[in-house]
Amino acid sequence: MSLEIEHSCPECASETTFYRTASTLVQLGEKTKWSCTNCEYGFVKIGEIESDTDVPA
């Protein structure tokens, strides 16, 4: 998995670059944290599931 992805940011209201800030393996798969390079917005991804709030592993 790459360290940067293109993803739409609700704060920037456009497609921006997100960088990976953390990665851990959990029961459901790989949990990764992503942060927008243009603002403070971030989201968490577990496998293919995205969430804009952090969830306990």
Residues of this chain that bind Zn ion (CB under 5 A): 9, 11-12, 36, 38-39, 41
Q: How far is the CB of 28 from Zn ion (least distance, A)?
A: 26
List, in sequence order, every residue forming a beta bridge with 32; answer none if it has no partner: 23, 45
Closer to Zn ion by Cβ: residue 38 or 51: 38
Closest C-alpha to 8, from 32, 48, 43: 43
Q: Please give the single-letter amino acid code of residue 44.
A: V
Q: How far is the CB of 14 from Zn ion (least distance, A)?
A: 8
From the CA atom positions of the chain, what is the Rg in Å? 11
